[in-house]
Amino acid sequence: MSNLDGARIQYFLAAPQVSDDVKKALREVVQRQSAIGSVVAKHQELERQIVVIGQEQERIRGNMAQLPKEADLFRRYVTKFTEQEDAIDALRKQVTATIEEEQRLRKGLDDYLIGLELK
């Protein structure tokens, strides 16, 4: 049941011959799949942000290579680079948290389906 796509689930929800218990279970599956989808989207956004910062750091490295180390701009770049490294560390922690949350939600869906008894 967890492999059903949205269109098929809507078909079963609209079908008069499907029992109320099955419809209730399908709604629960949809809700749980939606929660998983939200966490996956958040994970992807966090990964995108890490890539963007990485690209910015490549630009900064290139600029720093052209500057004398005692230049004000060089020091500004070092400060910005440090801030970006802190941001990447924070984003990676959030990525780990979203991965754990996704696993927890998927296990919850699996457990729900395994324990499901329909009449």
Query: pLDDT tens digits for 24-51?
Result: 998 999 999 999 999 999 999 999 999 9
Predicted pLDDT at 18? 87
Task: Identify which of 26, 35, 33 has the alpha carbon closest to the alpha carbon of residue 8.
Answer: 26
Q: Each residue of 63-87: pLDDT tens digit?
A: 999 999 999 999 999 999 999 999 9
> Taking 60 as the threshold, does the pLDDT of residue 110 lie above it?
yes
This prediction's pTM: 0.83
Distance, in Å, from the CA atom of 68 to the CA atom of 29, rounded to the nearest integer, reads: 60
pLDDT tier at 95 (50, 70, 90 boundaries)? Answer: very high
Enumerate long-range contacts of 44-50, CB under 8 Å, 24 or more apart.
Answer: 46/91, 46/94, 46/95, 46/98, 47/95, 49/91, 50/88, 50/91, 50/92, 50/95
Average pLDDT over residues 46-62: 97
